[in-house]
Chain A
Amino acid sequence: MSHHPGFPYLTVLILLPAAGALLAAVLPNASRVVYRLIGIVTSLAVLGFAIAVGFLLQAGNGGYQFTSHHVWAKSLGISWYVGVDGISLFLVLMAAVLFPIVLVSAKSNRDPRAFVGWMLLLEAACMGSFLSLDLILFFLFFELTLVPAYFIIGGWGYAGRAYAAIKFFVYTFFGSAFLLVGILVVAFLHQSQTGVLTFSLPALEHTHFSSTTGILLFLAFTSAFAIKAPLFPFHTWSPDAYAEAPTGGSMILAGVLAKLGTYGIIRFDLNLFPQASRTLAPLLLTLAVIGILYGAVVACAQRDMKRLIAYSSLAQIGFIALGTFAFTTQGLTGGVLLMVNHGLITAALFLLVGWIYERRHTWQVNELRGLQRPAPVLAAIFTVSMLASIGLPGLNGFVSEFLILSGTFLTHRWWAVVATLGVIFAALYLLWAYQQVFHGKPKPADEKTRDLSWAERGIIAPLIILIVVLGIYPKPVLDRITPSVNRLVDRVELVTHTHQPPVARFGTNGAEVQATVRSAP
């Protein structure tokens, strides 16, 4: 089941950025170019390895691949156990794409040494979180993300950065408290049932929980992930953190770190507690729908573009949770795909808003007008990103939202119906903001707004290309996500004795549809 080539690709994916961070930290008094170069070269190398993993991954295999397993602390039962499957692969790739963009775009930051160091450490921690198959190892990386993120918000953020950084840190750490104890209880129960002390996810999947214990543990795990994601009503840290963080920080926070929460739900909650997940699905689905509507309504009321994107993220995370707890192949696949798409779209939006701020020193929608005339390229790229976020067919956001809504409709009809309203709201607030900022007659101050330079166009080009390509031809991605999702859905169905409607399996994986059709009499 598990396929692993000799070269430890995944370990390199984690250790390479960490080594880069260390290099930046110990290199004394080099010029800022050197530090920036360390950051860019390291993150590009990581991207190269991530792409290699993407090509070498066996598409039809839903299990963990590239696994490598080394005992780390024997008496504590902790191992360096990493592996990748279709669910984590694209998150890794997405993160690997975003980090070089952040590091290239952050050229005017003060103290590039510390910025590069923290960013690379953050990349290592993100990679580690996505790739860990040992629960404690995951927890370590999950926690490790907080430290650099805290310093990036606090050190390079805007006026309210200290408050935002602390709020972010304390909220997330609070959730982790429950997560760690939950992990320990799971391992303890597993040890009492089998006599083996381990934190390995595949081994712990076979632990039996009474329904109450399962629900309590599910809640302990989910509290950490729901705060990190953030799901309504644990989202109150996120608008502050997203708004006060520097552009690069916002891109990573919303693009990558938020996905740790939703990824954690899919990877750990669903695998470890399928029964409890199923039992509590209505609760989570309801929270997701509330999040979608609440995020959209509050976004409508925002005058600050960064906060607007923050609340629209809340709605998008709601969609991811909706797809996850629909327990259909379509819904889950859409959820995983939306994690990737949302990362790309939000990063592009934050980058663009950051560039508008560099030119005009404001995020307030009211203070900007008619930017389209002096900056047509900026306006065009903004349009593409915005339309992708709304879910226009042909761009990547549509594919994932469609899969989620159709997957949810099959099993949880009314939730899907209500959630669809969120799509309309998204069009409303994003188009409204776009109209305010780009249309109309420019104010005198807006007239001389510089358009995007070629360097800036080059920086954002990868994101726009991916947004378009994933919208037109998502098949290679879906072909790799679906086997892993099917494996997960099968597991949940096996444990809970429920079945998704057969149609939910179709439409996500062309090969599988053909195979089914052929095998039919």
Chain B
Amino acid sequence: MSALAVVTAHSTIVLPHIRYLAILPEIVMLGGAVLLLGIASLVRRPLRVTVSTVGTIVIAGTSLGLALWQWADISSHGPYTAIDHAVVVDGFSVLITITVACAMILSALVGDGYLRREGVDGCEFHVLAMVSATGAMFMGEANDLIIVFLGLEIMSIALYVLAAMNHRRAASGEAALKYFVLGGFSSAVFIYGVALTYGATGTTNLTQIADFLSHNVIASNGVLLAGLSLLLVGFLFKVAAVPFHMWTPDVYQGAPSPVTGFMAAVAKAGGFAALLRVFVSSFGTLQSDWRPILYAVAVITLLFGAGVALVQRDVKRVLAYSSINHAGFVLLGVEAATAQGVSASLYYLFTYTFMTIGAFAVVTLLGRRGDGHHDIASYRGLAGRQPLLALAFAVLLLAQAGAPFTTGFLAKFQVVDASVNAGSVPLAVIAMVSAAIAAFFYLRIGLIMYTPVAGKGFLPGIEPLDDDEANAGPSGESETDGTGDAAPAELSAGNGQRPVWSGTEGAVVVRTQLNAELLLDTAPGEVQVLDPSEDIVEADAVDDETAAESAAEDTAKVPVPALAALAIGLCVAVTVVFGVIPAPLIDFAHKATLLFIP
């Protein structure tokens, strides 16, 4: 069968032997998006946010319900392929569909408050997100490289536009362009990989590739390996593995915060779904060729993601690098190339969806109007102002760090377990070491939230010595920052008493000792040195100015819309409940792996 035939079969979708149930969640999602867009273009005024939100939740909810129906269907009748074996409905694909649908619902809840706050009417956010989600679902269901590519493109193109959605921010457009250029390039690489694979095996169907490779020994497999590597590059770009991660920090920072959360969850789910299916099942016989590559990629991804996040002071960038670190962890499961590894990766992707969307939901709220307050300093004292929000954020961050009794720990535990069982003990050790490094920056955010803005009555008999002030002393350049944040806040608090930050011998000793503490509050100068791109620094500077202007606003409470609170609450609940009662979710991932074709 030629690749062309597969494409034809797919595009002429009304064929007698099509099982609609197989692609019903996608049809609903995409059809719903088109419907919403149609309604929006028919009515005179831009569609109200409420309408889009409700519509999206209904559509994504229906899609989720259909996915659960699929689950029931394959649980009783077994998994199957459909539409000329181009798509496959198995536990794996259903789990990805469920993950993406959940991500869509949560993002719609978060996006609602964001769109109202920013005064954006219309349904673009929702429509584009749903289209993107459809693409990710297809990537999970694809049983043919062409379908993988279609899914990849559907997902990505919508994401490019979503990243640029906030047209008021220059950084946003810049990020989108960067994403688009690099993404387009990686798609080209990917499709070239598809072509080479087709040349080597004579098919693009994943099952047939696996059959071919298990029945034939290719004497000179240069073309096949070249195709395999190009496919790998395409996937690794989507999941933001080092060294194909360059776009991630800029895009995560530049994109509107709810979009970032959505992107982090959905692009990873789709990308890893296809990566797992293509490599673990189709190219399973070539394990000895690709496992070493993934081993190396996983090592640098883990260490780079965790290491670079340490020196960031923009929370969105921290989370961007942390998402790179998470990608490294999922790669552990892929590298294991066992059923246990697949199951662990799926579990990781599912739970990570909730952790990351929840975290970005909090970031969205704290970004305030204009979505610009992402400097780590503006999180100071959050626990005092809004204890519940701070607690939720702390739980989500701790879960990402792998704290016990959260799904985050179980996710890390399972991939590390799979890795150890597959014999990659050094990789497992490196992963855990990177988790130790990563824990540090999650906790740093946590600690800053729980540090009061002005140290009032900190300790009996000691003059309050604020961290900012302690840093500002020797370095000087961070002084603007320290005073800019702390002083007005303190005056507004009516305290009237400036913290003493110069003078006593003890304090000087502390300061010289604490050069290492630039880690806690990096001076902007440090960021410039370490930042790979200059433009973002400018954005930082702009942010800093706005932060200084509205420093008083920083200590005000942020409004928490009910829907966003619901989304955050759901994310925290899933993270904690399934962390304490782990069996249902773990069994779900296991079962999904058992119902795996081929």
Give the contacting residue for A73; candidates B429, B439, B586; CB below 8 A: B586
Complex Cα distance A165/B467, Å? 13
A253-277: CB near B (< 8 Å → 1, else 0) gives: 0000000000000000000000000
Among A97-105, A136-144, A319-327, the one that faces the other chain is A136-144
With A159-B507, A170-B440 in contact, do A178 and B582 touch (Cβ < 8 Å)?
no
Would you call B440 and A143 a contact (CB within 8 A)?
A: no
With a cutoff of 8 Å between Cβ atoms, the chain B residues found around residue A162 in the complex are 447, 467, 514, 517, 520
| A159 in contact with B461 given A178-B429, A185-B420 (CB within 8 Å) | no
Q: B516's contact among A74, A159, A163, A361, by CB below 8 Å, is which? A: A163
- Choose from B428, B429, B436, B443 the contact partner of A150 (Cβ within 8 Å): B443
Interface size class of A (residues with CB under 8 A): 35 or more
Q: Residue among B417, B467, B590 with the most chain A CB within 10 A?
A: B417
Query: B459 touching A158 by the CB < 8 A rule?
Result: yes
Chain B CB within 8 A of A176 CB: yes
Q: How far is the CB of A419 from chain B (nearest CB, A)?
A: 32
Q: Contact between A141 and B436 (Cβ–Cβ < 8 Å)? A: no
A184 touches B417 (CB 8 A): yes
Bound: A156/B517 CA distance, A: 17
**Contact status B447-A150, CB under 8 Å:** yes
Give the docked Cα–Cα distance between A143 and B439 (Å): 11
With the chains together, A154 CA to B449 CA distance in Å?
11
Min distance, Cβ B345 to any Cβ of chain A, angstroms? 15
Of all chain B residues, the one with the shortest Cβ separation from A179 is B432
Q: Is B506 an interface residue (CB 8 A)?
A: yes
**A181 lies within 8 A of B416 (CB):** yes
With contact pairs A140-B404, A184-B416 given, residues A147 and B398 touching in the complex (Cβ less than 8 Å): yes
Q: What is the bound-complex CA distance between A152 and B467, given in angstroms?
A: 16
Q: Which residue of chain B is the closest to A151 with respect to CB atoms?
A: B450
Residues in A neighbouring B465, C-beta threshold 8 A: 159
A180 close to B383 (CB less than 8 A): no
- Contact flags (1/0) for B516-532 with A, using CB distance below 8 Å? 11011000000000000
Q: Which of chain B's residues have a CB closer than 8 A to the CB of A234?
A: none
Q: Contacts A151-B450, A184-B416, A361-B462 hold; do A170 and B432 have CB atoms under 8 A apart?
A: no
Complex partner residue of B446 from A25, A108, A151, A170, CB under 8 angstroms: A151
With contacts A160-B514, A188-B421 known, is A73 near B583, CB below 8 A?
yes
Q: What A residues does B446 contact at CB under 8 A?
A: 151
Chain B residues whose C-beta falls within 8 Å of the C-beta of A473 in the assembled complex: none
The answer, yes or no, to whether B414 is at the interface (CB within 8 Å) is yes
Q: A140–B405 contact, CB under 8 A? A: yes
Q: Which residues of the other chain, B, contact A459 by a CB distance below 8 angstroms?
A: none
Query: Smallest distance from the beta carbon of A291 to chain B beta carbons, Å?
Result: 24
Contact A25:B443 (CB < 8 A) given known A73-B410, A140-B409, A185-B420: no
Closest to A184 in B: B420
Which listed residue, B414, B460, B467, B470, touches A76 by the CB 8 Å rule?
Answer: B414
**Do A76 and B586 touch (CB < 8 A)?**
yes
Inter-chain CA distance A374–B543, complex, in Å, is 57
Is A432 in contact with chain B by the CB < 8 A criterion?
Answer: no
Q: Is the CB of B586 within 8 A of A169?
A: no
In residues 458-484 of chain B, which contact A (Cβ within 8 Å)?
458-462, 465, 467, 470
Q: Is B437 an interface residue (CB 8 A)?
A: yes
Tell me the bound Cα distance from A151 to B416 in angstroms.
Answer: 27
Which of the listed residues A139, A176, A358 has the most CB atoms from chain B within 10 Å of its own CB?
A176
Contact A173–B436 (Cβ < 8 Å): yes
Q: Is A177 an interface residue (CB 8 A)?
A: yes
Q: How many residues of B contact A (CB 8 A)?
A: 55
A422 contacts the other chain (Cβ, under 8 Å)? no
Chain A residues positioned under 8 Å from B507 (CB to CB): 159
**A55 CA to B404 CA in the complex, in Å?**
32
CA distance A76 to B340 in the complex (A): 10
A163–B513 contact, CB under 8 A?
Answer: yes
Are A181 and B413 within 8 A (Cβ)?
no
- Chain B residue with Cβ nearest A107: B460
Q: Is B433 touching A177 in the complex (CB atoms < 8 A)?
A: yes
A325-344: CB near B (< 8 Å → 1, else 0) gives 00000000000000000000
User: Once the chains bind, are B510 and A160 in contact (CB under 8 Å)?
Assistant: yes
How far in angstroms is the closest Cβ of chain A from B344? 10
Shortest CB-to-CB span from B369 to chain A, Å, is 28
Bound-state Cα–Cα, A73 to B588, Å: 12
Measured CB to CB, the nearest residue on chain A to B582 is A73
A154 to B428 alpha-carbon distance, docked (Å) = 30
- In whole angstroms, what is the CA distance A361 to B506 when docked? 12
The reply to whether A166 and B440 form a contact with Cβ atoms under 8 Å apart is: yes
Q: Does A110 touch B at the CB level, under 8 Å?
A: yes
Cβ of B22 within 8 Å of any chain A Cβ, yes or no, is no
Instruction: Using known A-B contacts A181-B420, A181-B428, determine if residue A166 contacts B444 with beta carbons closer than 8 Å.
Output: yes
Question: Of residues 416 to 440 in B, which have CB atoms within 8 Å of A's CB atoms?
Answer: 416-417, 420-421, 425, 428-429, 432-433, 435-437, 439-440
Q: Given A114-B450, A143-B404 in contact, is the A166-B398 Cβ separation under 8 Å?
A: no
- Nearest-CB residue, chain A, relative to B585: A73
Determine the main DSSP class of B at the interface with A.
Answer: helix
* Nearest Cβ on chain B to A58's Cβ, whole angstroms: 32
Q: How far is the CA of A108 from the CA of B457 in the complex (A)?
A: 10
Taken residue by residue from 43 to 87, chain A's Cβ proximity to chain B (1 for < 8 Å, 0 otherwise) reads as 000000000000000000000000000001111100000000000
Contacts of A414 in B (CB 8 A): none
User: Most chain-B Cβ atoms within 10 A of its Cβ — which of A72, A110, A163, A181?
Assistant: A181
- Smallest distance from the beta carbon of A213 to chain B beta carbons, Å? 11
Q: How far is the CB of A234 from chain B (nearest CB, A)?
A: 14
| B62 interface contact, C-beta 8 A | no
Q: Which one of A163, A173, A178 lies within 8 Å of B517 (CB-CB)? A: A163
Name the residue of chain A whose CB is nearest to the CB of B513. Answer: A160
Closest to B405 in A: A140
CB distance from A353 to the nearest CB of B (A): 14
Within 8 A of A (CB), among B539-572: none
Minimum Cβ distance to chain A for residue B514 (Å): 5
B413 to A144, Cβ gap below 8 A? no
Contacts of A108 in B (CB 8 A): 460
Q: Give complex CA distance A140, B398 in Å.
A: 13
Q: Which residue of A lies closest to B429 (CB)?
A: A181
From A141, A155, A358, contact of B450 by CB (8 A):
A155
Q: Which residue of A lies closest to B417 (CB)?
A: A184
CB-defined contacts of A159 to chain B, threshold 8 Å: 462, 465, 470, 506-507, 510
A170, B436: Cβ atoms closer than 8 Å: yes
Chain B residues with CB below 8 A from A361, complex form:
461-462
Chain A nearest CB, measured from B341 CB (Å): 14
Chain A 124-151 interface residues, beta-carbon cutoff 8 Å to B: 136, 139-141, 143-144, 147, 150-151
Which residues of chain B come closer than 8 Å to A180, judged between CB atoms?
413, 416, 432
Q: How distant is A53 from chain B, measured CB to nearest CB, in Å?
A: 24
Contacts of A166 in B (CB 8 A): 440, 443-444, 519-520
Within 8 A of B (CB), among A180-203: 180-181, 184-185, 188
B339 to chain A: closest CB distance in Å? 12
Q: Are B413 and A136 touching (Cβ within 8 A)?
A: yes
Within the complex, the shortest CB–CB distance from B278 to chain A, in Å, comes to 26
Q: Given the complex of chains A and B, what is the CA–CA distance between A185 and B433 in angstroms?
A: 16
A246 in contact (CB, < 8 A): yes
Structural contact, B447 and A155, CB atoms closer than 8 A: yes
CB proximity of A519 to chain B, nearest CB, Å: 48
For A110, give its contact among B391, B404, B458, B586 (CB under 8 Å).
Answer: B458
> Could you list 23 examples of A-B contacts with CB < 8 Å?
A110-B452, A110-B457, A144-B403, A144-B404, A144-B405, A147-B403, A151-B446, A151-B447, A151-B450, A155-B447, A159-B506, A163-B514, A165-B447, A166-B440, A166-B520, A169-B440, A176-B432, A177-B432, A181-B420, A181-B432, A184-B428, A185-B420, A361-B462
Given contacts A151-B447, A185-B425, 17 further A-B contacts (CB under 8 A): A25-B391, A73-B583, A74-B583, A147-B398, A147-B403, A154-B447, A155-B451, A166-B440, A166-B519, A169-B439, A173-B436, A173-B439, A173-B440, A181-B432, A185-B420, A188-B421, A361-B462
The 8 A-B residue pairs with the shortest CB-CB distance, nearest first, are: A177-B432, A140-B404, A173-B436, A184-B420, A73-B582, A159-B510, A154-B447, A144-B404
